[in-house]
Structure 1
Amino acid sequence: MKVLIAGGAGFIGSTIASACLDTGITPVILDNLSTGRAEFVKDRIFYRGDIADRSLIDRIFAEHPEIEAAVHCAALIVVPESVAHPLRYYQENVGKSIDFLSALVANECERFLFSSSAAIYQPGEDFAVDEASPISGTSPYAESKAMVERVLADAAHAYPLRVLSLRYFNPVGADPKMRTGLQVARPSHVLGKMIEAARTGAPFQVTGADWPTRDGSGIRDYVHVWDLAQAHVEALRRFDTVIDGSQRPYQVINLGTGNGTTVRELLDAFTAVLGRPIPTVTAPRRPGDSAGTYTRSDRARRLLEWEPTLSLKEGLQHSLSWAELRDEVLGSDPG
């Protein structure tokens, strides 16, 4: 099987590509390298370009007519940046996704996996959500994911197209074989900030201490990126049984652990793995932040026969191991 992976030079996309290769699926990678890395596509089938470039996508399918599915991981993902630059996020995440989808339909690619986000959910009273929970994004990033889902649902009912929308919770870790990991040197998410604090001595900021959670800090469902990648492999293998094109051509599946971990609990786990404390301060909420969610759904287990196998501790260990290797693999550039 060959699979087109848009955004396959990024953190999650490259990990999915590695998982595919390990199981005999050949990834064909499309990435403009705006945030992805050329090092992550070495010795892989790679096309550098934009998902909105129709002529390039036509060329990819002409050269690889055996492509059976597309995985769409290409997106901008920084929440505060999306608040500051909403038009850029809607153009990149929504507008270009429509262009990409149009090209796939024209090339008769009928299986589509979309990298969505749990950020689209409106948290319930206990912060647990399932696939039927209300949708209410708190940032342009989250809204862009929800908008693309609406486009995909309509397209799946109008064209010979079947769609699995995989709603990720919060990825941590790296490829356990250390082939790829988080590519940015100074990530904006909570674990990246903890690692930066450990390396530089700069205080880690607990952004928001007045959320209605058990300790006042935000709550998240931290799932290992390798487990996410394995879920994609299972989705590709079982696509035709999960999606009945005549009855339900569009399906959503949460990908999380089912465990809610607050930022302060994550900090405790991180310092335990690190073996020492890091300087910590409390700071105001960031623009676009929410209290957070975790999944209570077992749909992934039922439909994909998938459940996470790697622990939060392993995710933290792999994140720290990758942080030590990152500059050696990618260089010490500020990106």
Structure 2
Amino acid sequence: MSVLIAGGAGYIGSTVASACLDAGVTPVIVDNLVSGRREFTEGRVFYEGDIADGALVDRIFSEHPDIRAVVHCAALIVVPESVTDPIGYYEANVAKSLAFVGHLHRNSCDRLIFSSSASIYRAEDGSAVTEDTPLALQSPYARTKAVCEEMFADIAASGKMRVLSLRYFNPVGSDPLLRTGLQMKRPSHALGKLIQAHQEGTPFPVTGVNYPTRDGTGIRDYVHVWDLATAHIAAIDGFDSILTESMPSTAINLGTGSGTTVRELCTAFNNVVSTPLETVDTDPRPGDVAGGYTASNRATTLLGWTPKLSLEESIRSALDWIPVRDTLLKD
């Protein structure tokens, strides 16, 4: 059995591909390498090209008739960039996704697992969200994800496709076997900034200490990228029992279910490194919010999935990945 992974040369997609290999499933990757890395496709079935290219998609299905499902990770994902280039983001994330689904339907593929995002929730007050929490779209990037979910739901309701949208919270860490990880040398998320401060020997600024959270600092839901990948395997295995004629589409939050505050993240980091990192309390940055996390059990109920790896394991794998990344990726 094969699974087509659109965007399979990126951070999430390549890790899903590794999980497929470990589960005895052949990943077939299509990626235009705008942000994905060719190095992450080594030894894997790989087609370089665009998901909107109908002739390419037709060729992939012709050459791999055993493709059972599609994991759609292909997207532009940088929030500030989406603000300055909304046309490019709607073209890449929405228009091309619509074309892609048309190509899948033409090739009689009706199982689609869509990489969505928890950025579609507001999550400003440190509270938990579920899949039924009202959406509050705060960037063009978030809107492209929400538009795609609604578009796919409409298509599913017509009987042409079944779609499972997986709403990721904050992926961290790397493939435990260090086959793939984050492409960027300087990730902009909190763990990336912690690692940078530790490498440079400077205190880590805790931006905001008066939020309505358990210790006053911002809260996020960090989930190990390998746990995310195994959730996709569960989705592939259970797809036909989850999505039926009466429920052809649904969304599932993927997170830890508890969230981690900035202070807790710093403590977990210091539990992993040999030289403790110092922190300094500072004022919130403009636009910062308390954050949030998922409190849903839908992933457990529908997928039979719960995250297995700890925050410390996420941090350790992120640190272990750095020298591998610097060797594997030349820029």
Q: TM-score, normalised by structure 2?
A: 0.93
Whether 1:95 and 2:85 are equivalent positions in the alignment is no
Aligned to 1:255: 254
Secondary structure (helix, strand or coil) at the match of 2:29 reads strand
Secondary structure (helix, strand or coil) at the match of 2:187 reads coil
Whether 1:213 and 2:208 are equivalent positions in the alignment is no
Render the CA deviation track for 1:240-292: whole Å, top value 9, x for unaligned: 00111x201001111111111122321222133123344656465366x5432
Aligned to 2:298: 299
Quickly say closer, same or farther: Cα 1:128–1:197, change in 2 above 3 A: same
AA at the equivalent of 1:275: S
Aligned to 2:227: 227
Question: Structure 2: how far apart are the matches of 1:87 and 1:204?
Answer: 36
Q: List aligned pairs for 1:131-146, cutoff 5 A.
A: 131-146=131-146
Render the CA deviation track for 1:78-129: whole Å, top value 9, x for unaligned: 2222233333222222222112112112221100000111111133865101
Aligned length: 330
Deviation at 1:225, TM superposition (A): 0.7
Aligned to 2:50: 50
Aligned to 1:170: 170
- Percent of matched pairs sharing the same residue: 59
Question: Structure 2: how far apart are the matches of 1:6 and 1:121?
Answer: 25
Secondary structure (helix, strand or coil) at the match of 2:71 reads strand
- Unmatched tracts of structure 1, length 5 or more: none
Quickly say closer, same or farther: Cα 1:126–1:194, change in 2 above 3 A: closer
Question: Structure 2: how far apart are the matches of 1:164 and 1:290?
Answer: 29
Aligned to 1:109: 109
AA at the equivalent of 1:90: Y
Question: Structure 2: how far apart are the matches of 1:138 and 1:211?
Answer: 20
Deviation at 1:202, TM superposition (A): 5.7
Secondary structure (helix, strand or coil) at the match of 1:113 reads strand
Aligned to 2:314: 315
Question: Structure 2: how far apart are the matches of 1:169 and 1:240?
Answer: 25
Q: TM-score, normalised by structure 1?
A: 0.92
Q: Indicate if the aligned counterparts of 2:120 and 2:143 stay in contact, CA closer than 8 A.
A: yes
Secondary structure (helix, strand or coil) at the match of 2:4 reads strand
Secondary structure (helix, strand or coil) at the match of 2:137 reads coil
Question: Structure 2: how far apart are the matches of 1:5 and 1:56?
Answer: 14
Aligned to 1:188: 188
Q: Indicate if the aligned counterparts of 1:20 and 1:27 stay in contact, CA closer than 8 A.
A: yes
Question: Structure 1: how far apart are the matches of 2:176 and 2:182?
Answer: 12
Secondary structure (helix, strand or coil) at the match of 1:187 reads coil
Aligned to 1:39: 39
Secondary structure (helix, strand or coil) at the match of 1:68 reads strand
Quickly say closer, same or farther: Cα 1:21–1:83, change in 2 above 3 A: same
Question: Structure 1: how far apart are the matches of 2:176 and 2:269?
Answer: 18
Secondary structure (helix, strand or coil) at the match of 2:166 reads strand
* Superposed structure 1 runs of 4+ greater than 6 Å apart: none
Quickly say closer, same or farther: Cα 1:283–1:57, change in 2 above 3 A: farther
Aligned to 2:20: 20
AA at the equivalent of 1:268: T
Q: Indicate if the aligned counterparts of 1:205 and 1:283 stay in contact, CA closer than 8 A.
A: no
AA at the equivalent of 1:63: E
Aligned to 1:240: 240
Question: Structure 1: how far apart are the matches of 2:204 and 2:94?
Answer: 33
Question: Structure 1: how far apart are the matches of 2:209 and 2:148?
Answer: 32
Quickly say closer, same or farther: Cα 1:45–1:217, change in 2 above 3 A: same
Question: Structure 1: how far apart are the matches of 2:52 and 2:224?
Answer: 30
Question: Structure 2: how far apart are the matches of 1:125 and 1:205?
Answer: 21
